[in-house]
Each structure stands twice: as C-alpha cells, then as structure tokens.
Structure 1
Amino acid sequence: MNGYVQAFKKYAVFDGRASRAEYWSFFVINLIVTLVLIVADVGMDQLNPEFGVGFLSGIYILFQTIPSIAICIRRLHDSGRSGWWFMVGFIALIGTLILLILLLLKSQAGPNRYGPNPRDERNRTREVPSIDPKQTGDASYLDLKNRRDS
C-alpha cells in the first residue's frame, strides 16, 4: 500500500529511483482498483463496450496515467537505465516483454546517476537510535540498576 501512496505523492516526479517493491505494489493495487471500478461501471450500466471502460474507470485511468508513467521511469532508473526505455513498451508484444524484464531486474547497488538506492534510504530510516536511559533520566532504569547493585 505504501508504494501506491508514494506514487501519488510523487505524482509527476520523473527523476530519482523507485524500488521493485514500490513499483509492484503500485502496479497490483492500481490493477485491483481499476478492475473494481470497471465492475462498478458494469453494475451501474455505465460501461462503454466499444472502449471497455465506463465513467468511473475512465476517470480513474486518466487520473493514474501520469503517476504510472512516472513510477515506471523511476523503476527503470533504479536498474541504471534511462527513462526512455519506457518507449520500448510501445513495440508490439516483444517490447512489452522487454519492458517487463527490465522492470523485474534487481536494483543497481549503491547510488547511481539517478540518485541513491531507495532500499538503502529505507533501511536508514528504519534504524532506531539507541537511547541511553542514564542520559534521559529514566527512573525505571535507575531503580533496576540500584536493585542489582545492592
């Protein structure tokens, strides 16, 4: 869910990197939301059979197009490739397979020309600083220490 939210927070940010987890969580949730909206359109008899979308799904598809392209480009950046590789997806069948393979590749270790590795950044923010209870004046620590010393 975090990747989905992050993609919309970076609505039109085409620079930087996106981890595999961020990209694929966005992709899966986006697919589910689109399918649910298509079913809702069918239920409300709003589905246009010519285009395969209805009012709700059409609005959502327009709304999520830019974030989808942006996160795809950031994912390509994460594996060290230019965002222009996104265009290979427009080649019938073979281009889609090539793009899929590129999106599945591991992240380039460490920083690259597109920025720091998002996985490294995530690990840094997860580190919890150790707090010395003696410095904070935590009474429970001091009581425990005094009991042991006695």
Structure 2
Amino acid sequence: MNWYIQVIKRAINFEDRARRKEYWMFYLFNMIILFVIGFSFQLLQSELILEIGGTYIALIILPCWAVTVRRLHDVGKSGWFIFIPIVPLIGWIIFLYLLIKNGDPSDNRFGPNPKTVS
C-alpha cells in the first residue's frame, strides 16, 4: 500500500526514475480498487458506484502516466516511449518488455538508481 500512496504523492513528477516494484505494486493496488468498484457495481447496480468509478479513473490517470514515464526512465528510455503501443502487436510486446526489464544499475541521464537512493 505504501508504494501506491508514494506514487499518488508524486502524481505530477515525470522526471525521476521508478523501479519495477514501485510500478507493479501501484498497478496491483490500482487493479484491486478497480475490481472492487466493478464488482460492487455489478452487485448493486448503483449509479453512485458508477460515478465513483468514473471519478476514480479520471483522478488516477495522471499518476498512471507519471509512474509509467518514470519506469521508462529507469530503463534509460524517453517518456515518449509511452506511445509505442500505438504500433500494433509489436509495440505492446516492446512496451511490456521495457516495463518488465530491470532498470539501469547505475545513474543514467534521468537520475540516480532508485534502488540505491534512500
């Protein structure tokens, strides 16, 4: 949960690096929250839950982009690589590979290694 909150606090930071654990833990908690909202809507069929879900998605989109750009920075790629999934099939494969790949072990042009910075 701390990883999720940490990403939310740095919602507009597109400049640093994000390690794999930060990225994937954020998305894990994000998917859990979206699953609970979707399950609640299916169970209760409430317009209020639908509005809560829409509001949550609108509020979380910027932190999602920011942590993805920081994750790309960790592997030494520009944040513009966030658009590589536009290329059908191969774009998604390359994008997923970059998100799974271990970050640069030393400092790169985007900052110090987040694993060594306390």
Output aligned runs, 1:93-132, within 5 Å.
93-122=89-118
- SS of the residue 2:108 aligns to: coil
Larger relative contact order (C-alpha < 8 A, sep ≥ 6)?
2
Structure (1 or 2) with the larger CA radius of gyration: 1
Q: Separation in 2 of the partners of 1:9 and 1:56?
A: 20
The alpha-carbon deviation at position 93 of structure 1 amounts to 3.2
Is residue 76 of structure 1 aligned with residue 72 of structure 2?
Answer: yes
Match of 1:146 in 2: none
Contact 1:41 1:55 in 2 (8 A): no
Q: Separation in 1 of the partners of 2:35 and 2:88?
A: 23
Q: Separation in 2 of the partners of 1:37 and 1:75?
A: 27
Is residue 15 of structure 1 aligned with residue 6 of structure 2?
Answer: no
Which amino acid is the alignment partner of residue 82 of structure 2? F
Specify every segment of 5 or more residues in structure 1 that has no aligned partner in the other structure, as ranges. 48-52, 123-150
Matched pairs, number: 117
Q: Under a length normalisation based on structure 1, what TM-score does the superposition of the two structures give?
A: 0.73
Q: Separation in 1 of the partners of 2:88 and 2:41?
A: 29
Give the 3 Å change call, closer, same or farther, for CA 54–95 of structure 1 in structure 2. farther
Is residue 60 of structure 1 aligned with residue 56 of structure 2?
Answer: yes
Contact 1:79 1:107 in 2 (8 A): yes
